[in-house]
Structure formats: structure tokens, C-alpha cells
Structure 1
């Protein structure tokens, strides 16, 4: 399924900013401190976090972003984050991102699942399952 493995070397047009990657219940994480704060809030509230590591130059990331926003509105019991791998390059490297988009599913800051690529059916299936388990508590 669609994924980007490396940044294009033609310089890419960075004028498009991350606005398209936020919206709905999706929050854009632009600093490590912001990440830690959102993780602490989710842990305190007992919520599962979905972190989308993506890039503005990545076609599949752009393609799945509106769908991710849509899911965030349909299934609001989860926390939806987007991290720009270029903006937080060092942080993203610590997550061993090999391709974008990569979605991490986290509970109490620990990875419980992961999805690499812009696979809409699989992303929706995982979110529905997590939303369901969140309601069983």
C-alpha cells in the first residue's frame, strides 16, 4: 500500500505546511515537549493514542490525511496525533520510521500496534477495534 521511503531529492516544495495534516480531532505535534504533554494527558485519561508519522512531501501521507481526520471525528474516544518527520527528525528517528506514513497505536506510552503505509481499510479496522476496546472499560 502507498508509502514514501525517502524524501525527494529535487528539493521538494516546502511551502505547503502541515495545516492539511491537522483538523478534526487530529493534533499536530511540533515539539518533543508537546508530544510528552499529549502522552501524559492520554495516560491520565486512560486513552489510546494514534500517532501518524508523516511528511508534507509524501503523496500517500497527503492522501490519507483527510481520511485520518474523518476517523478522528467518527471515533473521538481516541487521541489522534500527527508528527512531521522532517520537523521532528531526531525524535522520529528514535521511533525507527522506515517509511511514511507510519501509524503507531500507543497505550500508556507503549506501542500496542503499528501500521506502515496509507492503507485506509486496515487503519479504519484498527481504529474501530481500539475504539471498541476503549468503550469496554
Structure 2
């Protein structure tokens, strides 16, 4: 009887883990599909991204809200969003799309490993002094 209980517990745990993994994969696909759908939708307006920042605090449960600054008619506007999707894509200039109360952020990677070397000459150099230097 004890062996049957152990097998039942083992099967239950394995089934739960499988179900949790399946839900995680499906949830990720849903976000990617929504982001791709919004990116292809020409009716959703595209804005140039100026900057964005995560607003961390102790009271946030789940993902933190994000504050976004973007260009709208040659003016910088800022807005905070609770729902957002961030896509790292191979582009030069970052942009956002806003649909309802959700922002979709499309940005290049922070580091590109295959970049052309930077060449140039230093025209002016300033040495900054620390706050303790008199």
C-alpha cells in the first residue's frame, strides 16, 4: 500500500511539473504572438523611444511598472505603464507602440558582439577631478 502511495505522489508531482512547464511555454508564446501582431499592425501608432526605466518598489507584486519617454509631434512625453512587452530586435533606432494601456518596446541589444571598429582622433581631453581633490 505504501509503495502505491509513493508512486501516486511521484506521478502527481511529475504531472504538476509538466503542466506548469506547459503553461509557462504557452504564456510566453502568447506574449510573443501579441508583440508580433502589434508590430505588424499599421493602425497602431509608432513613436520614437527616448528612454524607459523600470519603477521598482516594495509594494509591486509581479513585474514592476515601466516609465517610458517618447517623441510625439516633436515633444517628449512620458507615461507609466503596468503592462508592457520588451522585444530585443536587430534595429538601429528603438521605438514603441502603444495599444490600449499596454506599451510594446522594440529596442536593439545593449551589446553587439559583431561591430565595426571605432576610429578617430581625440580633439579635446579633460581630466575630471574627484570630489575629494582640492
Which TM class, normalised by the smaller chain length? under 0.3
Higher-RCO chain (CA-CA 8 Å, sequence separation at least 6): 1
More strand by share: 2
Q: Which is greater in Rg?
A: 2
More helix by share: 1
